Amino acid sequence: MKILVTGGAGYIGSHTCVQLIDKGWQPVILDSLVNSKVSVLDRIESITGHRPPFIKGDVRDADLLSKLLSEHSVEAVIHFAGLKAVGESVAQPLRYYDNNVHGSVVLMQAMQKCAVKTLVFSSSATVYGHAFAPPWNEQVPTAPANPYGRSKLMVDQIMGDMAAADAACSMTSLRYFNPVGAHASGLMGEDPQGTPNNLMPYLAQVAVGRLEALQIYGTDYDTPDGTGVRDYIHVTDLAQGHIAALAYAHGQPGHHVFNLGSGQGHSVMDMLKAFGKACGRELPYTLSPRRPGDVAAYWANPQHARNTLGWHAEKSIDDMCQDTWRWQSSNPNGYL
Ligand code: NAD
Ligand code: WQD
């Protein structure tokens, strides 16, 4: 099967391309490189022995998309391309709606024109309302708290409308919890531009000496150790979830929504300790006030994916930290 992978040069997309190739499927990558480097293709090739076709371009380019879908005889699309920084989305909402929502509409229009019926989309647990006690299943009411989250929910809703309008459409929204980790080879991993916003890449840069100390945002939450609790999922488990979702959804019309998480919550302190163990030294940290907009604790109920896709996350937080450390220590400045 030939699969268009938008945003395939990015963190989750590149790991998913490796597993698509392992399965014998053929990814075709479209990426504008707004948040990634083309050298990731060398890494995909080193790991798999195969270099997928790469097109530098934007999902909002309707002509390019139609050309790609038909010239490559694409049968399904995995749509990772999007902007993902919550704070940036608050400051630049139109940029986020244009890129994430308009980009997805242009993609679906091109798919409709070229009769490509299967779409798997990177949604997020951030679409859920924060007032609900975890674990969160797919029925938790949606109430995203920022433009980024709203852009994800809008696309989910448009996909639902498309599935209702066309009985042959298969639309799958995958709601990721907190993706972390790296490929076990150490050749691929997360490479944020500038100072990382997220816990795991921040820890990795402290460990490698690029940053001084982790600031723990909030130590007075109603959690076992007072620090925030999240559902961390290894990026290769997440990539495997896409393979399972695509295998299920291709030829299965409707709007399918799945949580992809481990089903377990871990605190900031748990992650700090696990990373210290992985890199062989205690990492420096400071205690800071809560970060505005953060919630105390949430994690997934991933039963629907387990029951329907036969998929579940297998890797532990020790695996996540060890693999991240292998990636960061062998690529201290990320991709070149
Ligand atoms: P990433 O930034 O590493 O990858 C996204 C890729 O999309 C990048 O390579 C970027 O260059 C490309 N891109 C962005 N806009 C584009 C456009 N208009 N046209 C073409 N390419 C474009 O991010 P990631 O962590 O791999 O996330 C992938 C997807 O998963 C995103 O849609 C993100 O919102 C979603 N998601 C991520 C997380 C997370 O914590 N990483 C959690 C939930 C959902
Ligand atoms: C995790 C925990 C922080 C950094 C974000 C997005 C969400 C989704 C995943 C895309 C929290 C604490 C963090 C630091 C810290 N992305 N922390 N010091 O906020 O759960 O989710 O990424 O869809 O939409 O909001 O992830 O990694 O930023 O934070 O103490 O320097 O680590 O307070 O408890 P978050 P995170």
pLDDT-derived band at 268, boundaries 50, 70, 90: very high
CA 331 to chain centre: 21
Q: Cα 203 to chain center, whole Å?
A: 19
Cβ of 16 below 6 Å from ligand 1: no
Structure tokens at 80: 């990772």
**Hey, whose CA ends up nearest to atom 8 of ligand 1?**
10
> Cα separation of 83 and 155, whole Å?
13
Q: What atom in ligand 2 is closest to the CA of residue 216?
A: 30
Distance, in Å, from the CA atom of 35 to the CA atom of 89, rounded to the nearest integer, reads: 15
* CATH no. for 2-180+231-262+299-313: 3.40.50.720
Q: Is 72 exposed, middle or buried (0-12, 13-18, 19+ CB in 10 A)?
A: middle
Annotate 314-329 with DSSP letters as a single string.
---HHHHHHHHHHHHH
Q: Which atom of ligand 2 is nearest to the CA of 84?
A: 10
pLDDT at 312: 98
Q: Which residues line ligand 2 (CB under 6 A)?
A: 84, 86, 124, 126, 178, 197-199, 202, 214-218, 228, 230, 268, 291, 294
Protein residue closest via CA to atom 9 of ligand 1 = 10
**Residue 185: strand, helix, or coil:** coil
Domain extents for the chain? 2-180+231-262+299-313
Cα separation, 317 vs 231, in Å, equals 10
Provide long-range contacts, Cβ within 8 A and 24+ apart, for 108-116: 108/158, 108/159, 108/162, 109/62, 110/62, 110/65, 110/66, 110/69, 111/69, 111/77, 112/166, 113/66, 114/66, 114/69, 114/70, 114/74, 116/4, 116/69, 116/74, 116/75, 116/76, 116/77
Is the CB of residue 11 below 6 angstroms from any atom belonging to ligand 1?
yes
* Span 30-45, pLDDT tens digits: 999 999 999 999 999 9
Residue 188 pLDDT grade (very low, low, confident, very high; cuts 50, 70, 90): very high
pTM above 0.95, yes or no: yes
Ligand 1 pocket test target in 4, 5, 11, 178 with most atoms within 8 Å of CB: 11
Q: Calculate how far, in angstroms, residue 15's C-alpha sits from the geometric centre of ligand 2.
A: 21
pLDDT-derived band at 246 (thresholds 50, 70, 90) equals very high
The H or E element that residue 214 is part of is: strand 214-217
Residue 80 Cβ contacting ligand 1 at under 6 Å: yes
Catalytic residues: 148
Give residue 34 CA to ligand 1 midpoint distance, Å. 9
Quote the tokens at residue 164: 């209702």
Q: What is the Å distance from ligand 2's center to 54 Cα?
A: 31
Q: What is the pLDDT of residues 64-82, one digit of tens each?
A: 999 999 999 999 999 999 9
Q: For ligand 1, is residue 103 a contact (CB within 6 Å)?
A: yes
32 ligand 1 Cβ < 6 A: yes
pLDDT computed for residue 12 by the predictor: 99
Q: Is 263 left (phi over 0), alpha (psi -120 to 50) or beta?
A: left
Residue 81 CA to ligand 1 center (angstroms) comes to 5
Q: Ligand 1 center to residue 13 CA distance, Å?
A: 8
pLDDT in tens, 289-336: 999 989 999 999 999 999 999 999 999 999 999 999 999 999 999 998
Centre of ligand 1 from the C-alpha of residue 12, in Å: 7
